[in-house]
C-alpha cells in the first residue's frame, strides 16, 4: 500500500485545466448504437494529477466544475484518488463539461464533446492561487486549456508566468484537439505558454504538425528554440525520446495488450514527471513514462489502470507476478 500524499508541506505538482465527466460506451460500440455507458472522470490535466497522486505525490488540481451532480461526482472521484481539489471552484450556472465516448483500439474511437460554455471553460486568471503556485515544485498545463476559451488561456498563461517568476518548473503538453481548434489556431494560442515552459511533453504527430516539419528531431528543435530546456516526444509503438539540445535519450515501448489508448499521454506525463524529480535521470524517467502510459491503455477509462509507486517499481524491476 502506498501512503497517502503528505498535504502539510509544499505541493509537489499543480495541474491546471478542465475536469470533465466522461461516459464511456461499455462494451465498445459506436455511439449511436451504444446503450450502456460507464460514468467516470476525465480531462487531460486531471488525469495527470491522478497519475501523480497514485505515484505518491501531493498533486493539486486547479480548475472549475459546475454546481451540479456531475461536478460533485468529479470532485468525489478526485478526492478518492488523493488529488487535492481544495482549489477547484464551482461555477454557479455553467455545467460541468461532458465527454461521451466509445472505447476502441484498431479503429478510430468516437468522441463527442459537450463542453461549450462549460464551467471548466469559465476558468479565469482570478481562479489561480498564486501563493500555491509559488510554493509548488512544478506546474503542468496542456494546450486544451489554451483553446477552451480566452479566459482559460489567460488563466493558464498567468499560472505559467507566476510559476516561472517563483522559480518553479512548467511542463506543457500541446494535446492538440482538432475538434477544439485548427493546428494554426493552436500554434497561436500556445505561443506564450511555449515561452514559459521549461519542459515539453508532446506526441510525435503533434510535434511535427505544430512545427510544420515531417522530421521529429527538427520539430524538437522548434520547441527548444521557443524556450524549453527539455523536449520529450512520445512515439507510440516506437517508445519515447527526449533531448535537451545537446544530449539525446530514447527508450522502447512497454508491451501490453491495448484496450484503449485514450489517456496514455497523460499517464506518460505522470510517470515521467514523477521519476524525473528523483534525480533528473532522463532515461529512467522515459522508462517510467512508457510503462505508466502502457498500463493506462489496458483499460477503457483514462485513469483506472494508472499504477501505484509499488506497481511501477515492481514492473521496472522486472517483477510482475501477482502478490499472493
Choose the binding region for ligand KDG from 77-85, 244-252, 260-268, 291-299 (rule: CB under 6 A): 260-268
* Beta-sheet strand order (sheet of 20-25): 37-42, 20-25, 98-101, 111-114
- Angle at 63 (CA atoms; ends 287, 66), nearest 5 degrees: 130
Is residue 186 near ligand KDG by the rule CB under 6 A?
A: no
Q: Which residues contact 314 (CB under 8 A, 6 or more apart)?
A: 320
- Contacting ligand KDG within 134-153 (CB under 6 A): 144
- Contacting ligand KDG within 35-54 (CB under 6 A): 42-44, 47
Instruction: Kindly state the smallest distance separating residue 271's Cβ from ligand KDG, in Å.
Output: 14
Instruction: Kindly state the smallest distance separating residue 144's Cβ from ligand KDG, in Å.
Output: 5
- Give the Cα separation of 281 and 276 in Å (integer): 6
Assess whether 266 carries a catalytic annotation.
yes
What is the 3 state secondary structure string of 232-298? EEECHHHCEEEECCCCEEEECCCCCCCCCCCCHHHHHHHHHHHHHHHHCCHHHHHHHHHHHHHHHCC
- Give the Cα separation of 250 and 211 in Å (integer): 21
Burial category of 110 from C-beta neighbours within 10 Å (exposed 0-12, middle 13-18, buried 19 and up) = middle
- Give the Cα separation of 175 and 182 in Å (integer): 12
Choose the binding region for ligand KDG from 84-92, 217-225, 263-271, 279-287 (rule: CB under 6 A): 263-271
Of 74, 99, 168, 315, which one interacts with ligand KDG (CB under 6 A)? 99
Length in residues, the chain:
324
SS3 helix, strand, coil % of the chain, rounded to 5?
A: 40, 20, 40
- Contacting ligand KDG within 281-320 (CB under 6 A): 302
> Which CB sits closer to ligand KDG, 49 or 168?
49
Q: What φ, ψ does residue 22 adopt, rounded to 5°?
A: -120, 135
Of 157, 266, 274, 288, which one interacts with ligand KDG (CB under 6 A)? 266
Of 263, 271, 289, 307, which one interacts with ligand KDG (CB under 6 A)? 263
Instruction: Kindly state the smallest distance separating residue 284's Cβ from ligand KDG, in Å.
Output: 24
Instruction: Kindly state the smallest distance separating residue 24's Cβ from ligand KDG, in Å.
Output: 10
> Which CB sits closer to ligand KDG, 101 or 287?
101
- Contacting ligand KDG within 198-237 (CB under 6 A): none
Q: Where are the alpha helices (DSSP H) in the chain?
A: 44-54, 69-80, 130-135, 143-148, 150-165, 183-196, 204-211, 216-225, 264-279, 282-296, 309-316
Number of residues counted as binding ligand KDG (CB under 6 A): 12
**Active-site position among 266, 279, 304, 311:** 266
> Which CB sits closer to ligand KDG, 230 or 267?
267
Of 87, 89, 177, 309, which one interacts with ligand KDG (CB under 6 A)? 177
> Which CB sits closer to ligand KDG, 42 or 163?
42
Nearest position to ligand KDG, beta carbon:
42
DSSP 316: H
> Which CB sits closer to ligand KDG, 60 or 296?
296
* Binding residues vs ligand KDG (CB under 6 A): 42-44, 47, 99, 144, 177, 262-263, 265-266, 302
Catalytic residues: 266
Amino acid at each position: 500500500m502506498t501512503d497517502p500524499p503528505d498535504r502539510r508541506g509544499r505541493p509537489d505538482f499543480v495541474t491546471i485545466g478542465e475536469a470533465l465527466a466522461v461516459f464511456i460506451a461499455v462494451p465498445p460500440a459506436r455511439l449511436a448504437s451504444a446503450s450502456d455507458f460507464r460514468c467516470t472522470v476525465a480531462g487531460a490535466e486531471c488525469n495527470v494529477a491522478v497519475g501523480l497522486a497514485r505515484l505518491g505525490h501531493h498533486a493539486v488540481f486547479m480548475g472549475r466544475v459546475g454546481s451540479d451532480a456531475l461536478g460533485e461526482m468529479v470532485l468525489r472521484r478526485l478526492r478518492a484518488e488523493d488529488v487535492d481539489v481544495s482549489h477547484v471552484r464551482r461555477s454557479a450556472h455553467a455545467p460541468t463539461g461532458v465527454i461521451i465516448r466509445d472505447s476502441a483500439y484498431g479503429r478510430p474511437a468516437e468522441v463527442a464533446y459537450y463542453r461549450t460554455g462549460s464551467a471548466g471553460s469559465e476558468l479565469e486568471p482570478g481562479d489561480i492561487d498564486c501563493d500555491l503556485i509559488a510554493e509548488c515544485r512544478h506546474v503542468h498545463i496542456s494546450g486544451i486549456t489554451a483553446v477552451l476559451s480566452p479566459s482559460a488561456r489567460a488563466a493558464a498563461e498567468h499560472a505559467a508566468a507566476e510559476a516561472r517568476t517563483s522559480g518553479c518548473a512548467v511542463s506543457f503538453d500541446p494535446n492538440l484537439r482538432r475538434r477544439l481548434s485548427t493546428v494554426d489556431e493552436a500554434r497561436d494560442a500556445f505561443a506564450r505558454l511555449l515561452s514559459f515552459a521549461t519542459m515539453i511533453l508532446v506526441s510525435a504527430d503533434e510535434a511535427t504538425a505544430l512545427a510544420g516539419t515531417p522530421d521529429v528531431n527538427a520539430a524538437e528543435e522548434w520547441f527548444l528554440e521557443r524556450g524549453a530546456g527539455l523536449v520529450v516526444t512520445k512515439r507510440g509503438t516506437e517508445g519515447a525520446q527526449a533531448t535537451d539540445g545537446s544530449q539525446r535519450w530514447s527508450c522502447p515501448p512497454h508491451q501490453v495488450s491495448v484496450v484503449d489508448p485514450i489517456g496514455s499521454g497523460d499517464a506518460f506525463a505522470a510517470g515521467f514527471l514523477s521519476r524525473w524529480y528523483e534525480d533528473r535521470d532522463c532515461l529512467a524517467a522515459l522508462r517510467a513514462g512508457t510503462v505508466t502510459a502502457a498500463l493506462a491503455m489496458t483499460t477503457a477509462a483514462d485513469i483506472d489502470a494508472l499504477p501505484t509507486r509499488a506497481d511501477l517499481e515492481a514492473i521496472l524491476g522486472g517483477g510482475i507476478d501477482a502478490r499472493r
